Amino acid sequence: MDVPAILQPLKQGLKYPAHNKDYGIEQDFLIWLKKQTDLLTANPAEADFHFLPVYWTRWHINHNFAVNSEGLDEMDHEVAKALLDETKTFTITQFDGGTLLRTHKLIEFTAARTNNSGIDIPILCSRHPKPFWGVKKKYVASFNGSFNTHPIRTQMVERFKNNPDVMVAGNVPTRFYKRWLGIMDYNLNTMASYIALCPRGTSCNSFRFFEAMQLGVAPCLVGDVDVRPFKSFIPWDEISYYASTVDELENLLNTVTKEEAIAKSKKALWYFNNELYYQKWCKYVIEELKQL
Protein backbone atom coordinates (compact mmCIF):
# COMPACT_ATOMS: atom_id res chain seq x y z
CA MET A 1 0.00 0.00 0.00
CA ASP A 2 1.04 3.58 -0.61
CA VAL A 3 1.46 5.65 2.54
CA PRO A 4 2.33 9.32 2.93
CA ALA A 5 6.05 9.98 3.33
CA ILE A 6 5.40 11.38 6.81
CA LEU A 7 4.60 7.82 7.98
CA GLN A 8 8.01 6.58 6.85
CA PRO A 9 10.50 8.85 8.67
CA LEU A 10 14.01 8.65 7.22
CA LYS A 11 15.58 8.31 10.67
CA GLN A 12 14.79 8.17 14.36
CA GLY A 13 16.06 10.39 17.14
CA LEU A 14 17.44 7.54 19.26
CA LYS A 15 19.02 4.29 18.19
CA TYR A 16 18.69 1.25 20.41
CA PRO A 17 20.32 -0.96 21.48
CA ALA A 18 23.30 1.40 21.66
CA HIS A 19 25.30 -0.40 18.95
CA ASN A 20 22.39 -0.67 16.53
CA LYS A 21 22.16 0.97 13.13
CA ASP A 22 19.05 3.01 12.40
CA TYR A 23 17.38 0.01 10.81
CA GLY A 24 14.87 -2.53 12.03
CA ILE A 25 12.33 -5.15 11.11
CA GLU A 26 9.82 -2.59 9.81
CA GLN A 27 12.20 -1.49 7.07
CA ASP A 28 13.52 -5.01 6.59
CA PHE A 29 10.16 -6.58 5.77
CA LEU A 30 9.28 -3.88 3.24
CA ILE A 31 12.60 -4.39 1.43
CA TRP A 32 12.00 -8.14 1.36
CA LEU A 33 8.39 -7.91 0.21
CA LYS A 34 9.22 -5.64 -2.72
CA LYS A 35 11.46 -8.43 -4.04
CA GLN A 36 8.65 -11.04 -3.94
CA THR A 37 7.08 -10.23 -7.29
CA ASP A 38 5.20 -13.54 -7.31
CA LEU A 39 3.29 -12.45 -4.19
CA LEU A 40 2.32 -8.97 -5.36
CA THR A 41 -0.46 -7.46 -7.42
CA ALA A 42 -1.06 -3.86 -8.45
CA ASN A 43 -4.82 -4.38 -8.09
CA PRO A 44 -5.93 -4.11 -4.42
CA ALA A 45 -9.15 -5.99 -5.19
CA GLU A 46 -7.14 -9.05 -6.24
CA ALA A 47 -5.04 -9.11 -3.07
CA ASP A 48 -5.72 -11.49 -0.21
CA PHE A 49 -4.02 -9.03 2.14
CA HIS A 50 -2.85 -5.43 2.08
CA PHE A 51 0.50 -4.53 3.70
CA LEU A 52 0.65 -1.15 5.46
CA PRO A 53 4.34 -0.14 5.51
CA VAL A 54 4.36 2.43 8.31
CA TYR A 55 7.60 2.89 10.27
CA TRP A 56 5.87 2.82 13.67
CA THR A 57 9.01 2.72 15.79
CA ARG A 58 10.62 5.75 14.14
CA TRP A 59 7.32 7.63 14.35
CA HIS A 60 6.80 7.01 18.07
CA ILE A 61 10.43 7.61 19.04
CA ASN A 62 10.37 10.89 17.11
CA HIS A 63 7.20 11.82 19.00
CA ASN A 64 8.64 11.37 22.50
CA PHE A 65 7.79 7.66 22.72
CA ALA A 66 4.08 8.55 22.53
CA VAL A 67 4.25 10.01 26.06
CA ASN A 68 1.01 11.90 26.76
CA SER A 69 -0.28 10.49 23.44
CA GLU A 70 2.07 12.71 21.45
CA GLY A 71 1.70 12.13 17.72
CA LEU A 72 -1.18 9.66 17.94
CA ASP A 73 -3.94 11.86 16.52
CA GLU A 74 -1.82 12.87 13.52
CA MET A 75 -0.77 9.26 12.95
CA ASP A 76 -4.36 8.00 13.08
CA HIS A 77 -5.43 10.68 10.61
CA GLU A 78 -2.71 9.79 8.11
CA VAL A 79 -3.31 6.03 8.43
CA ALA A 80 -7.03 6.52 7.81
CA LYS A 81 -6.27 8.18 4.48
CA ALA A 82 -4.10 5.22 3.40
CA LEU A 83 -6.39 2.34 4.38
CA LEU A 84 -8.50 0.57 1.77
CA ASP A 85 -9.85 -2.37 3.80
CA GLU A 86 -8.58 -2.62 7.35
CA THR A 87 -10.12 -6.08 7.82
CA LYS A 88 -7.44 -7.56 5.58
CA THR A 89 -4.62 -5.11 6.26
CA PHE A 90 -1.52 -6.24 8.12
CA THR A 91 1.51 -4.37 9.35
CA ILE A 92 4.89 -4.97 11.02
CA THR A 93 5.75 -3.17 14.25
CA GLN A 94 8.63 -3.31 16.71
CA PHE A 95 7.52 -0.57 19.11
CA ASP A 96 6.51 -1.57 22.65
CA GLY A 97 2.76 -1.99 22.62
CA GLY A 98 2.48 -2.21 18.84
CA THR A 99 1.13 0.44 16.51
CA LEU A 100 -0.80 2.36 19.22
CA LEU A 101 -3.53 3.00 16.66
CA ARG A 102 -6.64 4.36 18.32
CA THR A 103 -9.38 4.07 15.73
CA HIS A 104 -8.29 1.20 13.49
CA LYS A 105 -7.72 -2.49 14.12
CA LEU A 106 -5.23 -4.18 11.83
CA ILE A 107 -3.53 -7.58 11.77
CA GLU A 108 -0.40 -6.73 13.75
CA PHE A 109 2.83 -8.66 13.54
CA THR A 110 4.57 -7.38 16.64
CA ALA A 111 8.05 -7.85 18.07
CA ALA A 112 7.34 -6.21 21.43
CA ARG A 113 3.92 -7.00 22.85
CA THR A 114 2.94 -5.48 26.18
CA ASN A 115 -0.79 -5.86 26.83
CA ASN A 116 -1.72 -5.70 23.15
CA SER A 117 -2.50 -8.67 20.97
CA GLY A 118 -0.58 -9.60 17.86
CA ILE A 119 1.35 -12.27 15.98
CA ASP A 120 4.86 -12.57 17.43
CA ILE A 121 7.92 -11.89 15.28
CA PRO A 122 11.64 -11.52 16.11
CA ILE A 123 13.00 -8.33 17.67
CA LEU A 124 16.28 -7.83 15.84
CA CYS A 125 19.23 -5.47 15.88
CA SER A 126 22.67 -5.21 14.28
CA ARG A 127 25.07 -8.09 14.81
CA HIS A 128 27.48 -7.95 17.73
CA PRO A 129 31.23 -8.30 17.25
CA LYS A 130 32.64 -11.63 18.39
CA PRO A 131 36.25 -12.49 19.23
CA PHE A 132 38.10 -14.80 16.87
CA TRP A 133 39.16 -16.96 19.79
CA GLY A 134 36.89 -19.15 21.89
CA VAL A 135 35.43 -17.82 25.14
CA LYS A 136 35.76 -20.13 28.13
CA LYS A 137 32.51 -20.91 29.89
CA LYS A 138 32.31 -19.55 33.45
CA TYR A 139 28.60 -19.49 34.22
CA VAL A 140 25.61 -21.76 33.89
CA ALA A 141 23.62 -18.64 33.01
CA SER A 142 24.03 -14.88 32.90
CA PHE A 143 22.04 -11.67 32.55
CA ASN A 144 23.16 -8.11 31.82
CA GLY A 145 20.59 -5.34 31.85
CA SER A 146 18.20 -3.22 33.86
CA PHE A 147 16.42 -4.68 36.87
CA ASN A 148 13.32 -2.54 37.28
CA THR A 149 11.39 -2.85 34.01
CA HIS A 150 9.35 -5.83 35.26
CA PRO A 151 8.92 -7.55 38.66
CA ILE A 152 10.24 -10.83 37.26
CA ARG A 153 13.64 -9.18 36.83
CA THR A 154 13.89 -8.05 40.43
CA GLN A 155 12.75 -11.50 41.56
CA MET A 156 15.45 -13.05 39.41
CA VAL A 157 18.14 -10.76 40.83
CA GLU A 158 17.11 -11.56 44.40
CA ARG A 159 16.95 -15.30 43.77
CA PHE A 160 20.39 -15.64 42.20
CA LYS A 161 22.43 -12.89 43.86
CA ASN A 162 24.37 -15.42 45.96
CA ASN A 163 24.65 -18.11 43.29
CA PRO A 164 28.18 -18.12 41.81
CA ASP A 165 26.98 -20.10 38.77
CA VAL A 166 24.52 -17.39 37.72
CA MET A 167 25.94 -13.97 36.86
CA VAL A 168 23.46 -11.09 37.16
CA ALA A 169 24.77 -7.59 36.44
CA GLY A 170 23.72 -4.25 35.08
CA ASN A 171 20.85 -2.14 36.37
CA VAL A 172 21.63 0.50 33.75
CA PRO A 173 19.07 3.01 32.36
CA THR A 174 16.73 1.03 30.15
CA ARG A 175 15.73 3.85 27.85
CA PHE A 176 19.24 4.11 26.45
CA TYR A 177 19.83 0.35 26.28
CA LYS A 178 23.46 0.65 27.35
CA ARG A 179 25.26 -2.63 27.96
CA TRP A 180 26.93 -3.08 31.30
CA LEU A 181 30.61 -1.97 31.18
CA GLY A 182 30.50 -1.61 27.41
CA ILE A 183 29.37 -3.69 24.50
CA MET A 184 32.30 -6.11 24.45
CA ASP A 185 31.84 -7.07 28.10
CA TYR A 186 28.18 -7.75 27.37
CA ASN A 187 29.19 -10.00 24.50
CA LEU A 188 31.92 -11.83 26.44
CA ASN A 189 29.76 -12.41 29.52
CA THR A 190 27.02 -13.82 27.32
CA MET A 191 29.44 -16.08 25.47
CA ALA A 192 30.97 -17.22 28.77
CA SER A 193 27.58 -18.69 29.73
CA TYR A 194 25.88 -21.91 28.77
CA ILE A 195 22.50 -20.12 28.82
CA ALA A 196 21.65 -16.46 28.29
CA LEU A 197 18.84 -15.28 30.56
CA CYS A 198 16.36 -13.10 28.69
CA PRO A 199 13.70 -11.91 31.15
CA ARG A 200 10.82 -9.87 29.85
CA GLY A 201 10.84 -6.15 30.58
CA THR A 202 8.37 -3.48 29.56
CA SER A 203 7.44 -5.75 26.68
CA CYS A 204 7.16 -9.54 26.70
CA ASN A 205 10.15 -9.93 24.40
CA SER A 206 13.81 -8.97 24.66
CA PHE A 207 16.49 -7.97 22.16
CA ARG A 208 18.94 -10.13 24.11
CA PHE A 209 17.02 -13.30 23.19
CA PHE A 210 18.10 -12.99 19.54
CA GLU A 211 21.42 -11.36 20.43
CA ALA A 212 22.26 -14.49 22.41
CA MET A 213 21.43 -16.68 19.42
CA GLN A 214 23.73 -14.58 17.23
CA LEU A 215 26.51 -14.97 19.81
CA GLY A 216 26.02 -18.74 19.78
CA VAL A 217 24.39 -19.12 23.20
CA ALA A 218 21.06 -20.80 23.92
CA PRO A 219 18.62 -18.11 25.10
CA CYS A 220 16.10 -18.57 27.90
CA LEU A 221 13.02 -16.40 27.71
CA VAL A 222 11.70 -15.67 31.20
CA GLY A 223 8.21 -14.22 31.44
CA ASP A 224 4.50 -14.80 31.77
CA VAL A 225 3.93 -14.89 28.01
CA ASP A 226 5.83 -17.14 25.62
CA VAL A 227 6.44 -14.82 22.66
CA ARG A 228 8.96 -16.96 20.80
CA PRO A 229 7.80 -16.38 17.21
CA PHE A 230 6.62 -18.73 14.47
CA LYS A 231 6.04 -21.70 16.78
CA SER A 232 4.48 -23.72 13.94
CA PHE A 233 7.70 -23.48 11.96
CA ILE A 234 10.66 -23.04 14.35
CA PRO A 235 11.55 -25.89 16.80
CA TRP A 236 12.10 -23.64 19.78
CA ASP A 237 12.43 -26.44 22.33
CA GLU A 238 15.48 -27.66 20.41
CA ILE A 239 17.25 -24.29 20.38
CA SER A 240 16.10 -22.36 23.45
CA TYR A 241 14.56 -22.48 26.91
CA TYR A 242 11.45 -20.92 28.42
CA ALA A 243 10.42 -20.33 32.04
CA SER A 244 7.22 -18.55 32.99
CA THR A 245 8.34 -17.85 36.58
CA VAL A 246 11.56 -17.53 38.56
CA ASP A 247 10.69 -20.81 40.34
CA GLU A 248 10.56 -22.56 36.95
CA LEU A 249 13.82 -20.89 35.97
CA GLU A 250 15.60 -22.05 39.12
CA ASN A 251 14.43 -25.62 38.56
CA LEU A 252 15.59 -25.44 34.94
CA LEU A 253 19.06 -24.19 35.89
CA ASN A 254 19.38 -26.87 38.59
CA THR A 255 18.61 -29.67 36.17
CA VAL A 256 20.06 -28.58 32.82
CA THR A 257 23.16 -30.34 31.54
CA LYS A 258 26.04 -28.51 29.90
CA GLU A 259 25.96 -30.94 26.99
CA GLU A 260 22.30 -30.13 26.31
CA ALA A 261 22.92 -26.38 26.52
CA ILE A 262 25.85 -26.59 24.10
CA ALA A 263 23.79 -28.61 21.61
CA LYS A 264 20.98 -26.06 21.78
CA SER A 265 23.46 -23.21 21.41
CA LYS A 266 24.85 -24.62 18.17
CA LYS A 267 21.35 -25.06 16.74
CA ALA A 268 20.35 -21.58 17.93
CA LEU A 269 23.24 -20.01 16.02
CA TRP A 270 22.30 -21.92 12.87
CA TYR A 271 18.64 -20.91 13.06
CA PHE A 272 19.56 -17.30 13.71
CA ASN A 273 21.83 -17.10 10.68
CA ASN A 274 19.62 -19.06 8.31
CA GLU A 275 16.03 -18.52 9.42
CA LEU A 276 15.64 -15.56 11.75
CA TYR A 277 18.02 -12.70 10.94
CA TYR A 278 17.26 -9.81 8.60
CA GLN A 279 15.60 -10.94 5.35
CA LYS A 280 15.46 -14.55 6.61
CA TRP A 281 12.47 -14.24 8.97
CA CYS A 282 10.16 -12.45 6.55
CA LYS A 283 8.95 -15.56 4.73
CA TYR A 284 7.31 -16.79 7.93
CA VAL A 285 5.00 -13.77 7.95
CA ILE A 286 3.52 -15.12 4.72
CA GLU A 287 3.16 -18.57 6.28
CA GLU A 288 1.33 -17.05 9.26
CA LEU A 289 -0.99 -15.20 6.89
CA LYS A 290 -1.73 -18.48 5.11
CA GLN A 291 -2.79 -19.96 8.45
CA LEU A 292 -5.14 -17.04 8.98
Distance CA 115, CA 148 (A): 18
Domain span at residue 218 reads 139-276
pLDDT score at 181: 46
Number of separate domains in the chain: 2
Predicted confidence band of residue 170 (pLDDT cuts 50, 70, 90) = confident
Predicted confidence band of residue 140 (pLDDT cuts 50, 70, 90) = very high
Is residue 179 domain-shared with residue 222, that is, in the same domain? yes
Is residue 145 domain-shared with residue 256, that is, in the same domain? yes
- Across the range 228-238, mean pLDDT stands at 98
Q: What is the CATH number of the domain that holds 183?
A: 3.40.50.2000
Predicted confidence band of residue 184 (pLDDT cuts 50, 70, 90) = low
Is residue 200 domain-shared with residue 231, that is, in the same domain? yes
The more confidently predicted of residues 184 and 142 is: 142
pLDDT score at 18: 78
Is residue 268 domain-shared with residue 156, that is, in the same domain? yes
The closest alpha carbon to 239, from 255, 216, 257, belongs to 216
Is residue 12 domain-shared with residue 109, that is, in the same domain? yes
Question: Which stretch of 69-78, 106-115, 163-172, 173-182 has the lowest confidence by average pLDDT?
Answer: 173-182
* Length of the chain in terms of residues written: 292
What is the value of pTM for the model shown? 0.93
Predicted confidence band of residue 177 (pLDDT cuts 50, 70, 90) = very low
- Across the range 84-102, mean pLDDT stands at 95
Give 10's contacts (C-beta < 8 A, 6+ positions apart): none
Q: Counting beta carbons within 10 angstroms of the beta carbon of residue 261, is it exposed (0 to 12), middle (13 to 18) or buried (19 or more)?
A: buried
Report if residue 31 sits inside a domain: yes
Q: Which amino acid is it at 165?
A: D
Is residue 155 domain-shared with residue 211, that is, in the same domain? yes
Is residue 164 domain-shared with residue 248, that is, in the same domain? yes
Is residue 85 domain-shared with residue 144, that is, in the same domain? no
